[in-house]
Amino acid sequence: MPVLEVQNLTKKFKQVTAVDQLSFQVHEGELFGLLGPNGAGKTTTMRMLTTLLKPDSGSASVADYDIIKSRNDVRASIGMVFQEPALDRQLTGRENLDFHGRMYGMKKDLRKSRIAEVLDLVELSDRADDLVETYSGGMQRRLEIARGLMHFPRVLFLDEPTLGLDTQTRRRIWEYLRMMNHEHKTTMILTTHYMEEADSLCGRVGIMDMGKIVALDTPKNLKDLIGADVITLEMESGDCKVFQTISYVRDLVEHGNRISLMVENGERKIPMLIAYAVDHGVRVSSVELHKPSLEDVFLRFTGATLRDREAGNTEKARRPGFRSRRR
């Protein structure tokens, strides 16, 4: 049963449409991800679903409550981990959690027992009475997750929960989120621009670009859409359109001075492709071979890499007249 339903949700800022007719559902106990570059509309979507921003049109419900008509009920039913730190660094970890519990009207005995539970959950019991300003970035993130769970929310929203953390700490946060979802059946909706994070954590992923969801499915099913190895050629000169006529190339996408070719048995096709490029006047400077990833899915549906999107290099990555050939 859906615990979150979104229908044609739209938000504009002056002439910019940040979220464009967005529709999707999230089911009870699901760990659902919105994956996309900065500026894709992920945070704006989260702010609308958590009642911090009013949509221009469309509708949404969270835990059976309308985000416009029943804002207080929505807020009582959710937890939120913001992209930017929102802890009081001059309070201890325990005091931050106690203050949060008071804001939600939790009685003293319940607050006390719940604080102990969530601190144990994120392994911060031994640092509960230390000032937050003495915590590492990863510890602060764990405390924010604990705070989001304090009042037994039906849905926990996490906006870029591992942004700015080192790889080791990021993976530790993944472990906590995965455990809370599997063992405690906590419904989670997270935004991320880390492909590996979405692939590792999420049961389903909605890939966002320019305010729209361009693809939505399990990470495995999304990668299966590619259905082949991916060979990426970086070209110094020549016309990449010559590769369109090769019979064993199942699909291709141009992005800047690079072209990604989807082929079977990629390691055997590399010599053939290089020879073909030489015969057709294409000078190749580098070759890369890998199995399909969510990056390839993003590239297939948008014609740009996530890095290009974040750099604002969309014109170069999406030259008109040639993007993708599918079979």
Sorted by where each begins, the domain ranges of the chain are 2-218, 225-326
35 in Cβ contact with 193 (< 8 Å)? yes
- Pick from 80, 79, 60: nearest CA to 70: 60
What confidence score (pLDDT) does residue 84 get? 85
What confidence score (pLDDT) does residue 311 get? 67
172-214: pLDDT as tens digits:
899 989 998 998 899 999 999 999 999 999 999 999 999 999 9
Residue type at 320 in one-letter notation: P
What confidence score (pLDDT) does residue 327 get? 38
Q: Could you identify the residue written with the tokens 């939120």?
A: 80
Provide the β-strand partners of residue 282: none
- Beta 187-192 vs 31-35: how paired, if at all? parallel
**Residue 240, number of CB atoms within 10 A of its CB:** 18
- The tokens for 307 are 């890095």
Task: Report the b/e string of 279-310 with b at 16+ CB within 10 A.
Answer: eeebebeeeeeeebbbbbbbbbbbbbbbebbe
Query: For residues 26 and 10, what is the distance between their CA atoms, to the nearest angstrom?
Result: 18
What confidence score (pLDDT) does residue 318 get? 40
Q: Please tell me the CATH code under which domain 225-326 is placed.
A: 3.30.70
CATH superfamily entry for domain 2-218: P-loop containing nucleotide triphosphate hydrolases (3.40.50.300)
Q: What is the DSSP string of 145-204?
A: HHHHHTT--SEEEEESTTTT--HHHHHHHHHHHHHHHHHH--EEEEEES-HHHHHHH-SE
- The tokens for 298 are 């993003």
CA-CA-CA-CA dihedral for 190, 191, 196, 199, to nearest 10: 50
What value, to the nearest 5°, has the Cα angle with vertex 124 and ends 119 and 127?
120
What confidence score (pLDDT) does residue 263 get? 93
Low-confidence ranges of the chain (pLDDT < 70): 311-327
Query: For residues 240 and 245, what is the distance between their CA atoms, to the nearest angstrom?
Result: 11
CA-CA-CA-CA dihedral for 180, 182, 185, 187, to nearest 10: 70
- Beta 31-35 vs 204-209: how paired, if at all? parallel
What confidence score (pLDDT) does residue 319 get? 37
What confidence score (pLDDT) does residue 312 get? 65
What confidence score (pLDDT) does residue 313 get? 43
Q: Tell me the percentage of the chain whose pLDDT exceeds 90.
A: 72
Q: Alpha helix locations (H) across the chain?
A: 42-49, 71-77, 93-103, 108-121, 137-149, 167-184, 195-201, 219-224, 266-279, 294-302, 306-311, 314-317
What confidence score (pLDDT) does residue 326 get? 43
123 in Cβ contact with 179 (< 8 Å)? no
Provide the β-strand partners of residue 26: 4
Query: For residues 211 and 214, what is the distance between their CA atoms, to the nearest angstrom?
Result: 9
